[in-house]
Amino acid sequence: MTKPFFLLAIGLFAVNFAFGNTADSAVTINSTVETYQFVYNTKTVSVEIKQKLIATYIANTFQANVPIAQGYNNHVTINNVECKVDGRTPRDFKPTYTYYGSDDVFYSDQKICYFPLTIPKKGGLGVVTFEETVNDPRYFTSIGFSEAYAVNQKEISVKIPRWMKVELKEYNFNGFNIKKTTQYISGEDADLVTYTIKNLPATKQEGNSPGPTYLYPHLMVLCKSASVGGSSVTYFNTLDDQYKWYHSLIKNTVADQAAISTKAKELTSGLTTDIDKIKAIFYYVQDNIRYIAFEDGMAGFRPENADEVLRKKYGDCKGMANLTKALLMASGYDARLCWLGTKHIAYDYQTPSLAVDNHMICALNYKAKTYFLDATESYLGFDEYAERIQGRQVLIEDGEKYVLTKVPVAAAGQNANIQTSKMSIINGAFTGTVNYVWKGEDKEEILTGINSIKREKTEDAMIKYLAGDNNDYTITNMVLSGTSNPDKDLTVSYDLRSKNGISSFGKTYYIDLDHTKELMDALIKTDERKHDYWFDHKLNLSRTVTLTIPQEYKVSSLPVALNIVNANYEFHVQYLSAADKVTYKKSIIIKNTHLPKAGFAQWNTDIEQLIKTYNDALIIKPITE
C-alpha cells in the first residue's frame, strides 16, 4: 500500500531520521508556520491542497549542520523551495530531487528533495520554506505536529472553504500545550482553524515502540466531499464511500484466466481433501512469490493482475493476496480480497481514510468459517496469524457491499518454544541430549534467519544460534527438521558437551541448569525509556532439564521456586528432586504484547526476581559430607 500522507508531513522534515539525527543535535527549531488551504483548480476541474511550510532553525553550536529532506510523490508536488541563513540565500544552495530508496521497496513513487543547511554562527538562524500542492484530497490524510528536533513554537493553520466538507480529528493532544482557535472569513466564505503549540519535544526513536500515530500529536484530515465549480464530488464521507473506491480498483484483476486455472489444477493434482488443496495453493504463494513492496500512486492501492504476479514470481501484499484469491477461486473456493491496518496504525475503519490501512490479505470462506491467508508471512502455517494483524479490523470484499470483522486473536500457545534436555555430569562437564520444538512466530523468526543465508551454512548458523556464541557449548550429531513444511513444527536435536554452568569448591558442585536465561537483560531503564514497550509477539516458552546426579552424590540445596502470575505475563521456575535426578522446569509466558509505561515498575520488580532465581545455584555434595 502507499504510505499515508502522515508519513510525508508528520512535521516539516520527518525524513531527517533517515540521516541519523537525534534530539540532542546542534539545532533547535525556533518556530514553524504551516498553512494548508483547499482550492479549486478550474483547469484540472479538481480540488487541491496548497501548503506552505516554514521552519526557522537556531544553531546551538558553531558550524551547525542540518540535513533537510522533504518527501513528495505522484500526488504531492513541490512547487518552490527556499533556504536562507542569517537573511541570505547560501551561495551553494541547490536542492537535489530524487527517488527515495529502500531495500524492501522494489518500485515507489516516493521521492525526496534534500539539501544541507549549514549555520556558521552559534545563535544564527536558518529559514527553510517549502511550497507544495496535493492534487487529490483523498491523499491528504494527516498533519503532524512533532519534529525530529525540539520546537519552541509552532503554528498550523487550515483554511477550509464552506464548499469543502472536512473533519479534523485530534490525536494525542494530552500532555502538550496546544491551543485551538476557529475564525470565519466572510470574504472567502471559509473557516480558518489554527493550532498553536509551544515547547514541543523532539520525537524519539525507541525499539519495540508503538507506531507514531499512537505517540505524537497530529490531526487526521477526513476529506468527505466538495460542491464547487457546478458539480459535487464525494471522497470518503463514509466507509461505504471508501469501500466503493477500493472495490473499483479490484475489478478485472485477472487478465489470463487460463494461466491461473492451469496452475491451480497443477497445484491440486492428486490431492483429495479441500484443506489439502487450499494449503497447497496458499503455501505455493508463500514459497514461490517473492514479496517486494510496490508503492506507486494508484498502483499502491490497485492489486497487480494475478496472472502477472504468477508470471514474474514477485509481488507486493496486494499482488500476493490477489494471486492467492485467483488460484483458490479457480479451484472452486470462495476467496475474497480484504484490507486492514496492522498494529502499527492507531486507527480503524470508524474513520474512513487511506491512512487507516496498510496491508492486503486474502479471506477464505470455508464451511461457515473465515480463514485469513497472509502470503507475506512466509513461514506461518494455515490458520496461524501474525501478531501484527491479530485482532485488527478487516474489510472484506462482498460484491457491491463489504463485510467488516476482525482477525482472530491467537493465544500464546501458537508460538510454543519448547526445550527438553537430559544431562549427566561426566569428567566435570554436562553431557547429554537436547531437543527443541518451535511453533508459530518463534518458528518463523528462526526460519527467516536460516533462509537468509546460503544453504551450506545453515548447520553452522544453527549451531551458533543454539550455543549463544559460547565456544564451550559443543554440539554434535545435530538433526534439524521441519524447515520446508509449514504444517510441521521446526525441531532440532543434538548431543551436547559443556563445562559451562558447573563450578566446584572442593568436592562440592555448584550447578546452573539454565543455559538460555531468557529475559536476563530485560530490565527497562525507566529514566531513559519514553514510550510503552511492545513485544514482537506473544511468547510461550518452556524449558525442562533433567540432570542425573553422579553416584556417591546427593542434593545439598535446591534453589527456591519462582511463581509470578499477572494478567500480562507469567514466570515460573522450579527444581524437583527425586531419587538420583533433579529436574529443572521453567515457563515464561507473554500473554499481552503491550507493556504500558505504568507497568514498567512491576515488570522490573518481577524481572529482578527472575534474575535472582537464575543466579541461585543447585548444590550437590558427596553423600559422605
Check whether residue 273 and residue 225 sit in a common domain.
no
Taking the CA atoms of 1, 165, 245 and 282 in sequence, report the sign of the dihedral they define.
Answer: positive
Contact 80, 93 (CB under 8 A): no
Distance CA 219, CA 166 (A): 12
Mapped onto helix, strand or coil, the DSSP state of residue 249 is helix
CATH number at residue 77: 2.60.40.3140
Distance CA 162, CA 154 (A): 26
- Residue 486, all three cell numbers: 509449514
Distance CA 86, CA 126 (A): 6
Q: Is residue 10 one of the residues assigned to a domain?
A: yes
Check whether residue 86 and residue 224 sit in a common domain.
yes
Q: pLDDT tens across 417-456, in order?
A: 999 999 999 999 999 999 999 999 999 999 998 888 877 7
Question: Phi and psi for 340 in degrees, rounded to 5?
Answer: -160, 160
Please report the pLDDT score of residue 109 as a whole number: 65
Distance CA 12, CA 202 (A): 13
CB atoms within 10 A of CB 536: 15
Check whether residue 328 and residue 429 sit in a common domain.
no
CATH number at residue 574: 2.60.120.1130
Check whether residue 462 and residue 536 sit in a common domain.
yes
Whole domain around residue 392: which residue ranges?
242-410
- Residue 393, all three cell numbers: 479490523
Residue 263 vs residues 158, 251, 252, 269, 521: alpha-carbon distances, Å: 53, 21, 19, 10, 49
Check whether residue 193 and residue 335 sit in a common domain.
no
Distance CA 436, CA 463 (A): 13
Check whether residue 26 and residue 44 sit in a common domain.
yes
Q: Is residue 275 one of the residues assigned to a domain?
A: yes
Q: What is the pTM of this model?
A: 0.91
Q: pLDDT tens across 502-536, in order?
A: 998 999 999 999 999 999 999 999 999 999 999 99
Question: Phi and psi for 459 in degrees, rounded to 5?
Answer: -65, -45
Distance CA 294, CA 608 (A): 46
Please report the pLDDT score of residue 54 as a whole number: 98
Check whether residue 351 and residue 211 sit in a common domain.
no
Mapped onto helix, strand or coil, the DSSP state of residue 229 is coil
- Choosing from 410, 436, 453, the residue where a domain stops is 410
- Choosing from 376, 410, 444, the residue where a domain stops is 410
Distance CA 73, CA 122 (A): 35
Q: Is residue 391 one of the residues assigned to a domain?
A: yes
Q: Is residue 601 one of the residues assigned to a domain?
A: yes
Please report the pLDDT score of residue 8 as a whole number: 32
Please report the pLDDT score of residue 295 as a whole number: 54
Q: Are strands 539-548 and 581-590 parallel, antiparallel or unpaired?
A: antiparallel
Residue 113 vs residues 16, 84, 192, 276: alpha-carbon distances, Å: 11, 16, 29, 51
Distance CA 254, CA 260 (A): 8
Q: Is residue 1 one of the residues assigned to a domain?
A: no
- Look at the block and give the residue holding cell 511550510: 53
Which secondary-structure segment (H or E) carries 276?
A: helix 274-288
Among candidate residues 67, 68, 66, the one with its CA nearest the CA of residue 120 = 66
Please report the pLDDT score of residue 2 as a whole number: 36
Check whether residue 467 and residue 491 sit in a common domain.
yes
Please report the pLDDT score of residue 25 as a whole number: 77
What total of structural domains would you count in the chain?
A: 3
Q: Which amino acid is at 147?
A: E
Q: 198: which residues sit within 8 A by CB, 6+ positions away?
A: 152, 153, 154, 177
Please report the pLDDT score of residue 77 as a whole number: 96
Q: Is residue 69 one of the residues assigned to a domain?
A: yes
Distance CA 148, CA 205 (A): 10
- Residue 487, all three cell numbers: 504444517
Among candidate residues 54, 16, 443, the one with its CA nearest the CA of residue 202 = 16
Side-chain-side CA neighbours of residue 306 (13 Å): 27
Q: 596: which residues sit within 8 A by CB, 6+ positions away?
A: 532
Report DSSP state, residue 392: -
Q: Is residue 596 one of the residues assigned to a domain?
A: yes
Q: Which residues of the chain have pLDDT under 50?
A: 1-23, 104-106, 298-299
Contact 83, 270 (CB under 8 A): no
Helix axes 257-268 and 274-288, enclosed angle (nearest 10): 120
Side-chain-side CA neighbours of residue 550 (13 Å): 18
Check whether residue 427 and residue 289 sit in a common domain.
no
Please report the pLDDT score of residue 308 as a whole number: 96
Contact 51, 157 (CB under 8 A): no
Please report the pLDDT score of residue 12 as a whole number: 36
- Residue 338, all three cell numbers: 480484504
- Choosing from 410, 426, 451, the residue where a domain stops is 410
Helix axes 274-288 and 317-330, enclosed angle (nearest 10): 150
Check whether residue 417 and residue 390 sit in a common domain.
no
Check whether residue 77 and residue 57 sit in a common domain.
yes
Check whether residue 508 and residue 545 sit in a common domain.
yes
